[in-house]
Amino acid sequence: MSFILASASPRRKQLLAGLISEFEIEPSRFEEVGAGLSAYQTARAFAEGKARDVAARHPHDAVLGSDTVVSLNGVILGKPADDADARRMLRLLSGRTHTVYTGICLIADGKQYLDVAQADVTFEELTDAVIEAYVATGKPLDKAGAYGIQDGFPLVKRYAGSFSCIMGLPVERLAGMLREAGLLR
């Protein structure tokens, strides 16, 4: 049995490599449509959809799907469409606290394990100069909420919860799932 990560995210690949030494990557083709769902429900449904999509093509392998959602006062901030959208999101988050939800779904040996982790993140008051410098790196464009806590910019004042959840793969929760599925000692 192979282990497959249903994501092209370099952050998820890096985090998973800390738990599983050998795995393949096959990005999911799951269409992320979730109108009317809460941020928690969206993270859960999208993680499950991604895992099921890849598992349907690899029924004898273990498949991991994951999805991260940023929620500010109940409004979901997805990946920005462009630099202007990234600036808009960063201004919205500036000086405020938001919640990051990361859903994980593991399918192995005909069983499904599904969980959602959450963390609260409070941003610094961001200056236009910091926002412009960060957007100029291109890093915000592939991340929910237009930021990566690990990117080394002075964006986050504090957080409560799992750092890896904020990055996109809650390794503490995943390790428990992998043990339950007999895939990790």
Close Cβ partners of 100 (under 8 Å, ≥ 6 residues apart):
68, 69, 70, 71, 118, 119, 120, 121, 144, 145, 161, 165, 166
Listed in sequence order, the DSSP H helices in the chain are 10-17, 39-57, 83-93, 128-136, 163-167, 171-180
Active-site residue flag, 67: yes
Find the catalytic residue in 61, 67, 109, 120.
67
Whether 114 and 78 have beta carbons less than 8 Å apart is answered as no
CB atoms within 10 A of CB 146: 28
CB atoms within 10 A of CB 56: 10
Question: Active-site positions?
Answer: 67
